[in-house]
Chain A
Amino acid sequence: MTSFSQNASSGHAGHGAMPKFQLALGTAFDAQGRLWVVGLDESQRLFVQHTQKNDLAFWDSPQVLDTGGEQISADGENRPKLAFGPNHWAVISYTQPLDKPYTGRIRMLRSQDDGQNFSAPFTVHADKQVITHRFESIAFDNAGVLHVVWIDKRDQPAKNSGQLYEGAAIYQVSSKDGGETFGPDTKVADHSCECCRIALLENKQAQMVAMWRHVFGEDTRDHAFANLSGPVNQIQRSSFDDWHIKACPHHGPGLALASKNGAFHAVWFGIRSGTKQLEDAVAGVRYARLDNHGAPVLGSLRLLPDSKAEHADVAAWGDSVVVVWRSFADNTTRLKTWTSLDGGRTFLLKTLDETNGQNDHPRLAQQGTRLVVVWRTMKGVQLHEIQL
């Protein structure tokens, strides 16, 4: 632990040429019950590491993956991710920032042997312009189809065209062979916000759905929801904070399947006021249940009991719902949970952990009733198992 902290801190010691240590991790369970993490080490190399089967106490050795030295985004909302499919498939994705600012491409490594070996990275989308392709999310559906969604700026009008286009767009591709080949890039919706993660999961009807921060009208940054198999721009507004701002909130939503009282549990950050003056606004992370179309269920909206809450994630199983987030106060960042046993009607607040150093956003990894909070700090990767 001490060695990790000392080594990691060297990333900050040499101000100037030294890059900052990027802590953002992706995490997932594989079919064997092993918890995996993917991220960058202190030398900015992509690595994966997993626990032993059904035992969070023991980790196998980390595996550094060959990405040819390309840059990898692993900060804040833009983190490497991994997903496991059928046929021993595993994939890792990340955004590779390009030299031109705000540009990037979605890269992927694939495995056909449960993550023992990974391919060289390749680009997922057909569009090869040096523009924004960033903030991807990935998931396999129950039929084994791999889905990738991301934020894309190919529809931006030329700078001197005089045309206005708010935000960016959400695009998607899918693969039926574990990432070996992909279908065409297709647009989900215009006018997404530009720098927030996208929530992606399969609904009860075995269709992929996504929720993201969206620009409604000229500058209202709320959230949109769409069925990825639906027509372009068929979206449902999921939040009504009416946050008028032309900015980058860097807070994407979290989404989980609900068993009743709605179809989904959702969490997001927003400032509910319509004013830019912070002192007048009600900023915070909110929770609501959404119906099958992504519309909020009447009476389910709640403000998390923490005015400093940031970067929340949510998971659910049966009537149990867990919301996790980080919160900074008194020079300490705390890891907190809000749990419900009645489908999101009432919640209990707990503090799980704390740190006085740099830390990642907390993430939830779930496999059925197994739920683990994964939080990377300068001390290492902290795991908190919550038994549902």
Chain B
Amino acid sequence: MKFNFELLKRTLGVGLIGLLFMGSFTPITSLAHEHVDSNLPTDVKPWDEGTWKQMRLNGPRPAAYLFTTSYCSTCVEAFETIRSHVLKIYSSKEAAPSLTVVMMDVSGLKAQRHAAHFQGLNSLYSFEGYEPAVRASVDPNWPEVTPYIVLVDAKGKLQNILGQPSQRNLIKWIP
């Protein structure tokens, strides 16, 4: 038996194009009227290939960035662990580090609705653009695994963490 790598490359073109033009693109109206927790950030900002560079240069310090998806059920615990550490150290909300959640798979009101899990977050973003490139702009060695966390300490030093942050990570971040 032998492989023939004369690839018969075909593109499902005409039919699919027809399908796509059968209906105009409309947002899901039920979401547009949905109640969203008023304690959550009121906007979902785009996180594109240039955002991380800007955050590193001009973003708040110390800060925590949690990258997550709408189906990452282990991400809530990671956020809670970070927030609990912050609450142990800071009594004033104003002085506390910035906690940012970045949704990778949903945007808009879906992202905002999902963020209800992350009580105490300061900023909410969602991936915008070419997902692998956006991911690589944060860390080229980041496999598509969440939670992915970046802790930025007061001097701008980074810790990149896959999974749950350890107490050691947190103490190193904010002693």
Contact B147 A101 (CB under 8 A): no
Within 8 A of B (CB), among A55-77: 56-57, 59-62, 64, 71, 73, 75-76
Q: A271 interface residue, CB < 8 Å from B?
A: yes
Contact B9 A64 (CB under 8 A): no
Q: How many residues on chain B are close to A (CB under 8 Å)?
A: 74
- Across the interface, A247 reaches (CB within 8 A) one of B16, B46, B164, namely B164
Within 8 A of B (CB), among A330-383: 331, 333, 339, 341, 350, 352-353, 356-358, 379-383
Q: A387 interface residue, CB < 8 Å from B?
A: yes
Instruction: State A335–B109 Cα separation when bound (angstroms).
Output: 33
B residues near A269, Cβ cutoff 8 Å = 143
Instruction: State A97–B72 Cα separation when bound (angstroms).
Output: 13
Q: B1 interface residue, CB < 8 Å from A?
A: yes
Of A37, A97, A310, A386, most buried by chain B (CB within 10 Å of CB) is: A386
Instruction: State A47–B15 Cα separation when bound (angstroms).
Output: 11
Instruction: State A250–B72 Cα separation when bound (angstroms).
Output: 8
A residues near B107, Cβ cutoff 8 Å = 15-16, 18-20
Q: A195-B71, A356-B130 are in contact. Are A4 and B17 (CB under 8 A)?
A: yes
Within 8 A of B (CB), among A1-36: 1, 3-4, 7-8, 10-12, 14-20
What is the CB-to-nearest-CB distance from B147 to chain A, in angstroms, rounded to a whole number?
6
Contact B74 A4 (CB under 8 A): no
Interface string of B1-36 (1 = CB under 8 A from A): 111111111111111111111111111100110000
Q: A43-B26, A134-B71 are in contact. Are A250 and B144 (CB under 8 A)?
A: yes
What is the CB-to-nearest-CB distance from A351 to chain B, in angstroms, rounded to a whole number?
11
Q: A60-B15, A341-B1 are in contact. Are A15 and B46 (CB under 8 A)?
A: yes
Q: B154 interface residue, CB < 8 Å from A?
A: no
Q: B141 interface residue, CB < 8 Å from A?
A: yes
Q: B55 interface residue, CB < 8 Å from A?
A: no
A residues near B52, Cβ cutoff 8 Å = none
Q: A278 interface residue, CB < 8 Å from B?
A: yes
Q: How many residues on chain A are close to B (CB under 8 Å)?
A: 82
16 contacts between A and B (CB under 8 A): A3-B17, A7-B21, A37-B12, A64-B19, A71-B28, A101-B117, A245-B163, A247-B72, A247-B74, A247-B146, A248-B145, A276-B166, A353-B9, A357-B130, A386-B7, A388-B1
- A interface list, Cβ under 8 A from B: 1, 3-4, 7-8, 10-12, 14-20, 37, 41-45, 47, 49, 56-57, 59-62, 64, 71, 73, 75-76, 78, 97, 101-102, 132, 134, 194-195, 245-251, 269, 271, 276, 278-279, 283, 310-311, 317-320, 328, 331, 333, 339, 341, 350, 352-353, 356-358, 379-388
